[in-house]
Structure 1
Amino acid sequence: MLAGGGSAGHVNPLLAVADELVARDPDLVVTVLGTEQGLESELVPGRGYPLVHVPRVPLPRRPTLDWFALPARLRAAVDAAGAAIDEAGAQVVVGFGGYVATPAYLAARHRGIPVVVHEQNARPGLANRLGARWAAAVAVTFPGTRLPGAVVTGLPLRPELADLVAERATDARAARTRAAAELGLDPDLPTLVVTGGSLGAVSLNLAAAGASGALLAAGAQVLHLTGAGKADAVRDLVRDGVQGAGLPGRYQVREYLGRMQLALAVADLVLCRSGAGTVSELAALGLPAVYVPLPVGNGEQRLNARPVVDAGGGVLVPDVELDAAWVRERLVPMLTDASALAAMGAAAAGVGRTDSAARVADLVEGVL
């Protein structure tokens, strides 16, 4: 029984481990616990795994009125998770954090069923901090994550990213050329990919688009993924930056790219947030990046990027310091220095992990 959901950061590693386990033993029965509202409601059935819904139970981080409703809601979720475990005859529960992980861990404990925990972020969430207390095995993405008995496995990669890692190892130039052709880009130009995730990041959008003139003047090309509803504003900024009526062909603006592996196949440098998935994928691919941690939350994004930045595989920039001037003065020289980028890429690859799904599957099989 695999439990996790709510965001791609939880669902993608879950599916990667599920695929690895089934590849090893086609007779293995895998069932997934998730919510009706999360991304898992589409991705899990789409991958061919049965999804059992568990009520969504956010754990309040500080005292609020929600505390009074928590016991009843949690009890209902634990009962639902327990019923799913019983029906599936599960022998181990593997949790990836998120809203359904806590009831899955508690239901498994009540039944004496072993638990394996995987934590994606450098700073663990509440659910995994709870589950790790009695887990049979604990896997973490980053060194230094404070969970008892933690084994560093890295973050299991999505199959399309794992395929790109293998393709780049065999013939990176061919992978780049094919991706550039599909995207309408020139494989021979220095290429910056800008992405703030599916929702975008206003600070990244403003900084990159505001420096569009300098980026193009340096002979680079840009694939700018703005996030939903933000493309028109970025296009206007780029037009202003290059002082032209039309959008330059070397500055490509899209809201979203479903096949993100194409962007990463052609990228020389990435300007991005530092979510665990982003950091892990870029390091596995050996891609240098300018990481701009999300300025809200518990500071986990800064911690996520720290190992690769300390190794020389990226640059960490506080959100408040990122603007068009920073891009012109710091990023443009970096993007146009091929030898520096090569050194950064090698450093990133040195801390990247490409076999994380297999490492987590090893822990699960050990428990089984």
Structure 2
Amino acid sequence: MHVVLAGGGTAGHVEPALALADALRRARPDIGVTALGTERGLETRLVPQRGYDLALIPPVPVPRRPSPALLKVPARLVGAVRAAAAVLRRTEADVLVGFGGYVAAPAYLAARRLGVPVVVHEANARPGLANRLGARLTHHVAGAWPDTPLRHADYVGMPLRRTITTLDRAGVRAAARAELGLAPDLPTLLVFGGSQGARRLNLAVHGGADALAAAGVQVLHAAGRGNVVPVERTSGPPYVALEYLDRMDLAYAAADVALCRAGAMTCAELAAVGLPAAYVPLPHGNGEQRLNAEPVVRAGGGLLVDDADCTPEWVASTLAPLLADAPRLEAMGRAAAEFGRRDGDDRLAALVLGVAEGERR
């Protein structure tokens, strides 16, 4: 059996695809897996690192607004569909699984042309163009969130890394805090905004550092490349500022609350491990980040904060008191964990294997 995954581009597309690949391999050690990608996506590094075959096809970016670049899309799409079809033929694919992004649309069209069954996984609460297309070509659609607005969508959850889904936060908290240079017994705020950081979050937390210290809160702050501003303290709670966190599992274990953006992967991971969060959706784009955070916030597992309201004053007036309220944090953590799913990888793998085996019969 051979499965082709179309999830190149951003980490939000690549990581769920790789989590599925790992689940498929656990279920069927002899299965073949090939990931489609483009030469400029993160998959060129991440896929080979995890031991999977990578096949590159031309990207087909679609402008969000009318522009001269739209005129180039048809020709690019034809070439990308042809390249994706060649990969499906070469691997004798039993099923194509798409996760959206630049790679997915041509892969869906190639699979339809060749009669290869398609499974679509949508990570965001608001689907993108590629997956809206894919969902029209198949009945096998999976969503990371309840009420995913795609035809035939079933709620399976987000495929997540095993380091996240098997994390025992309480069990490794002391070791995680020690490794990250934090005190063992202080309320801990984790701040992160992705590999590039988030300027709004960085300014708010740096400006609110004194208020957090006065409340006895220590900070683990991943500010992004080139964005670290040291907080000089001779006494008081630690403030650990880094460019990037390689071990998010340790960061989640060390923290009592996260302050972060609301990408689909971030929301799913925090809910799965039961870590309360203050989500600050990006103020631009199509509004998908707010929609990603709303379900776990409604369930009681987090706060939703407008970008403009994420200020040093808000950190002092709202975030610092929250970190001092242990009973409220415990309740929020339980609500997040009850909402989150840790088995999205296995659920999606079962769907994919069922489709592939049904086709073989």
Interval of TM-score (by shorter of Structure 1 and Structure 2): over 0.9
Read off the aligned partner of 1:175 and give its amino acid letter.
V
Is 1:220 paired with 2:217? yes
CA RMSD of aligned residues (A): 1.2
- What's the secondary structure of 1:230's corresponding residue? coil
Q: Say which is worse superposed, 131-140 or 271-280, in terms of deviation.
A: 131-140
Match of 2:192 in 1: 195
Match of 1:342 in 2: 330
Match of 1:366 in 2: 354
- What's the secondary structure of 2:120's corresponding residue? strand
In structure 2, distance between residues paired with 1:255 and 1:28: 38
Read off the aligned partner of 1:351 and give its amino acid letter.
F
- What's the secondary structure of 2:41's corresponding residue? coil
Is 1:51 paired with 2:54? yes
Match of 1:178 in 2: 175
Gaps of 5+ in 2: 357-361
Structure 2 counterparts to residues 127-276 of structure 1, below 5 A:
127-164=130-167, 167-168=168-169, 172=170, 174-232=171-229, 235=230, 238-239=231-232, 250-276=238-264
Match of 2:359 in 1: none
Q: 2:76 aligns with which of 56, 68, 73?
A: 73
Match of 2:35 in 1: 32
TM-aligned CA deviation for residue 249 of structure 1: 6.2
Match of 1:84 in 2: 87
Q: Judge conservation of contact 1:114–1:136 (CA < 8 Å) in 2.
A: no
Is 1:300 paired with 2:285? no
Gaps of 5+ in 1: none
Q: Judge conservation of contact 2:216–2:237 (CA < 8 Å) in 1.
A: no
- What's the secondary structure of 1:61's corresponding residue? coil
In structure 1, distance between residues paired with 2:68 and 2:285: 21
TM-aligned CA deviation for residue 163 of structure 1: 2.7
TM-aligned CA deviation for residue 36 of structure 1: 1.0
TM-aligned CA deviation for residue 188 of structure 1: 1.0
Is 1:354 paired with 2:357? no
In structure 2, distance between residues paired with 1:187 and 1:306: 32
How many pairs were matched up? 353
Match of 1:19 in 2: 22
Q: Judge conservation of contact 2:217–2:237 (CA < 8 Å) in 1.
A: no
In structure 2, distance between residues paired with 1:24 and 1:338: 40
Q: Say which is worse superposed, 154-163 or 208-217, in terms of deviation.
A: 154-163
- What's the secondary structure of 2:316's corresponding residue? helix
In structure 2, distance between residues paired with 1:47 and 1:113: 25
Q: Judge conservation of contact 1:33–1:100 (CA < 8 Å) in 2.
A: yes
Read off the aligned partner of 2:345 and give its amino acid letter.
A
The percent of aligned pairs where both chains have the same amino acid is 59
TM-aligned CA deviation for residue 63 of structure 1: 2.1
Q: Which TM-score applies when normalising by structure 2?
A: 0.95
- What's the secondary structure of 1:231's corresponding residue? coil
